[in-house]
């Protein structure tokens, strides 16, 4: 799933690894910027769908408000991925690597002016993230070791909190550091009281129907307005802690507007008309935008291959819902759970044609669940199994597995059933839809019939992770470039985002007959080993084994990784674009030249 990528990558990764917002920032006309007394600096950002919650731990979508209104103890540098102080001015790791002590900045405040102290950190982790009554995927990130033990916390004083883990856990500093800290004074009552159905009131607090001004944060902005399917408006948080070297308060930009626009074409139209200051450059628009670069007074930045990967995968879930209905029709399930079937699909997809036609050659073939820019990437040259386009080999594998062809060239299984299924894809990204269309065409050449189901991403997420009623999915996920364990929720068999074989989840109706394969268990073991190993070279060996298992078993097959391209008008200052951090990781430093 792709985020999140959202505005600030680290926050998004912890929730939606394969989820990303297609954000672009804009500068409005002078008439829009004026207040009664003076101009107000403003950026307008684009997202393709509504946020689905204002309650961070319950969020299931990359299209969120949280990067603007929340901050963690630490910040990830968008260029180097180095961890930097944020709410915490410093941290200290014990010699045995089992204790981390964070020291908060003095005089921190929430957006309502209330003090932010160690009590808020304790509350955030103990009462929310680690609360078993709150169904949040964040808890999975904080499980440590084979027993899944959680960290313990201790308040040392008003500004210091000590985290203790049962064993060394390599990702722990990054995880605890970048998770948002939540306001205890605003949310404590909701985690201590229940409704008539004995559910915590926290589960229904701060939905998107809440008055935005009631949402309390600690980030650079606070929310002041939300109109569904139109916009979200933020104003600079006057209590935000950050200042520049001259003592000027940051962020510099007074107001942020998130405009909710689904259509890629409409976004491009607005950029070319001069209204938008920045836009993610899709491959099919690159040549046009490059020609207009000088006249439009913008620069197209190339950050190299995008973070994360794009893939196609089948629903391997053999379980039934609480009413006894299989998530996947049993006939289809037998196909999808056949390794030969999945291998045939991999050989049948022409990724070179995909790169040429859909991405205009502005991409690279991806072979692994870990991005090729990662130091943990295991390459084909090092021995990773690959599937180059070979439709004849695909047919041979199918025939050897008991499939057959009728006189019309249609593929049948051993019982004479026509091989036909549905490919699910989100509606907000044209290149993703084009990819699904080509996959449909490629598979027709080996006799498979596929229908497309194009739905909004929020609906797609519900199908993948809740109703589980899907056949095949063209998707993406992010993470693993800096810390491979960020992929944990997707690959761990019990993970909240283990979409190709989603198991039982808290607060969901029970399922029956869920099966976990031996190779999934082995991936679990490798992730557990990689998390506790602090030696970088040994971790590389562990994650190489993981990548090889994925290549051999093909729960998902990787496609093309496009280049990360962003067009930014020259009047937007201090942009530090990278594939890792995007355009807005240093939002507090950005300025708009209004001359």
**30 found inside a domain:** yes
On whether both 380 and 271 belong to a single domain, the answer is no
On whether both 424 and 518 belong to a single domain, the answer is yes
On whether both 246 and 212 belong to a single domain, the answer is yes
On whether both 174 and 258 belong to a single domain, the answer is no
In terms of phi and psi (left: phi > 0; alpha: psi -120 to 50; beta: otherwise), the region of 361 is: left
Of the residues 155, 190, 225, the one at which a domain ends: 190
Q: pLDDT at position 274, please? A: 83
CATH of the domain at 31: 3.40.190.10
**535 found inside a domain:** yes
In terms of phi and psi (left: phi > 0; alpha: psi -120 to 50; beta: otherwise), the region of 305 is: beta
**415 found inside a domain:** yes
**How far is the C-alpha of 86 from the C-alpha of 93, rounded, in Å?**
17
What pTM value is reported for the model?
Answer: 0.75
CATH of the domain at 502: 3.10.105.10
Of the residues 148, 174, 190, the one at which a domain ends: 190
Q: Cα–Cα distances in Å, from 46 out to 7, 228, 261, 579?
A: 11, 14, 6, 18
**1 found inside a domain:** no
Q: What's the domain count of the chain?
A: 3
Q: Where are the alpha helices (DSSP H) in 39-165?
A: 66-69, 118-122, 138-141
On whether both 429 and 352 belong to a single domain, the answer is yes
CATH of the domain at 185: 3.90.76.10
**140 found inside a domain:** yes
On whether both 330 and 300 belong to a single domain, the answer is no
Regions of the chain where pLDDT drops below 50: 1-38
**3 found inside a domain:** no
On whether both 121 and 148 belong to a single domain, the answer is yes
On whether both 341 and 478 belong to a single domain, the answer is yes
Nearest in space to 333 (alpha carbons), one of 492, 513, 466, 463: 513
Q: pLDDT at position 510, please? A: 92
Q: pLDDT at position 4, please? A: 29
On whether both 234 and 181 belong to a single domain, the answer is no
Q: pLDDT at position 10, please? A: 44
Q: pLDDT at position 19, please? A: 33
Of the residues 151, 174, 190, the one at which a domain ends: 190
Q: pLDDT at position 161, please? A: 98
Q: pLDDT at position 480, please? A: 67
Residues counted in the chain: 595
Its domain, for residue 97, covers 74-190
Q: pLDDT at position 507, please? A: 78
Q: pLDDT at position 12, please? A: 44
Nearest in space to 401 (alpha carbons), one of 347, 470, 473, 337: 337
Packing angle between helix 536-553 and helix 518-532, nearest 10 degrees? 170
On whether both 376 and 408 belong to a single domain, the answer is yes
On whether both 440 and 351 belong to a single domain, the answer is yes
On whether both 512 and 576 belong to a single domain, the answer is no
b or e along 255-282 (b: 16 or more beta carbons within 10 Å of the residue's beta carbon)?
A: bbbbbbbbebeebbebbeeeebbbbbbb
3-state helix vs strand vs coil in the chain, percent to 5: 30, 25, 45
**How far is the C-alpha of 182 from the C-alpha of 190, rounded, in Å?**
13
Q: List, in order, residues 6 or more apart from 78 with CB less than 8 Å away.
A: 9, 576, 578, 580, 581, 582, 585, 586
**521 found inside a domain:** yes
**408 found inside a domain:** yes
Which residue in the block uniquely carries the two structure tokens 């209204």? 275
């Amino acid at each position: 799933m792709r985020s999140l990528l959202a505005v600030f990558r680290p926050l998004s990764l912890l929730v939606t690894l394969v989820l990303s917002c297609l954000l672009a920032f804009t500068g409005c006309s002078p008439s829009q910027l004026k207040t009664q007394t003076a101009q107000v600096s403003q950026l307008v950002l684009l997202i393709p769908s509504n946020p689905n919650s204002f309650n961070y731990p319950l969020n299931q979508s990359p299209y969120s408000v949280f990067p603007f209104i929340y901050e963690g103890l630490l910040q990830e540098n968008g260029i180097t991925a180095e961890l930097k102080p944020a709410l915490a001015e410093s941290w200290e790791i014990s010699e045995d690597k089992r204790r981390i002590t964070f020291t908060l900045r003095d005089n921190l405040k929430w957006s309502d002016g209330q003090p932010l102290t160690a009590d808020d950190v304790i509350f955030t982790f103990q009462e929310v993230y680690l609360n078993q009554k709150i169904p949040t995927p964040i808890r999975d990130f904080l499980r440590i070791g084979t027993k899944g033990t959680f960290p313990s916390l201790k308040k040392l004083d008003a500004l210091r909190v000590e985290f203790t883990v049962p064993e060394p856990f390599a990702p722990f500093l990054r995880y605890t550091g970048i998770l948002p800290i939540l306001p205890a004074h605003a949310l404590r009552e909701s985690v201590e009281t229940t409704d008539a159905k004995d559910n915590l009131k926290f589960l229904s607090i701060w939905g998107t129907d809440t008055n935005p001004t009631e949402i309390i944060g600690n980030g650079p902005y606070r929310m002041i307005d939300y109109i569904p399917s139109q916009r979200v408006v933020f104003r600079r948080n006057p209590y935000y802690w950050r200042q520049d070297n001259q003592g000027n308060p940051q962020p510099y930009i007074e107001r942020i507007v998130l405009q909710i626009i689904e259509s890629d074409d409409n976004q491009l139209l607005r950029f070319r008309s001069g209204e938008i200051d920045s836009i993610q450059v899709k491959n099919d628009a690159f040549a046009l935008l490059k020609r207009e670069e000088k006249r439009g007074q913008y620069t197209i930045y190339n950050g190299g291959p995008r973070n994360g990967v794009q893939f196609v995968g089948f629903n391997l879930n053999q379980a039934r819902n609480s009413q006894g209905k299989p998530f996947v029709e049993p006939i289809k399930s037998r196909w999808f759970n056949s390794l030969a079937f999945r291998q045939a699909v991999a050989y049948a997809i022409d990724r070179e044609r995909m790169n040429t036609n859909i991405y205009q050659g502005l991409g690279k073939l991806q072979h692994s669940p870990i991005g090729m820019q990662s130091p943990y990437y295991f390459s084909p040259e090092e021995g990773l199994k690959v599937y180059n386009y070979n439709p004849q080999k695909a047919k041979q594998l199918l025939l050897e597995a008991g499939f057959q062809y009728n006189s019309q060239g249609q593929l049948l299984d051993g019982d004479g059933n026509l091989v036909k299924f549905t490919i699910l894809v989100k509606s907000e990204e044209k290149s993703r839809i084009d990819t699904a269309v080509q996959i449909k065409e490629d598979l027709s050449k080996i006799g498979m019939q596929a229908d497309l189901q194009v739905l909004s991403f929020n609906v797609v997420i519900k199908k993948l992770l809740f109703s589980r009623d899907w056949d095949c999915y063209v998707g993406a996920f992010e993470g693993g470039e800096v810390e491979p364990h960020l992929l944990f929720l997707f690959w761990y068999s019990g993970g909240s985002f283990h979409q190709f074989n989603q198991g039982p989840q808290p607060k969901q109706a029970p399922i029956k007959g869920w099966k976990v394969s031996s190779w999934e268990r082995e991936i679990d073991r490798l992730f557990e080993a990689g998390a506790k190993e602090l030696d970088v070279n040994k971790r590389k060996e562990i994650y190489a084994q993981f990548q090889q298992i994925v290549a051999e078993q093909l729960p998902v097959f990787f496609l093309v990784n496009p280049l990360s391209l962003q067009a930014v008008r020259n009047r937007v200052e201090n942009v530090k674009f990278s594939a890792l951090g995007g355009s807005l990781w240093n939002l507090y430093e950005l300025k708009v030249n209004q001359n």
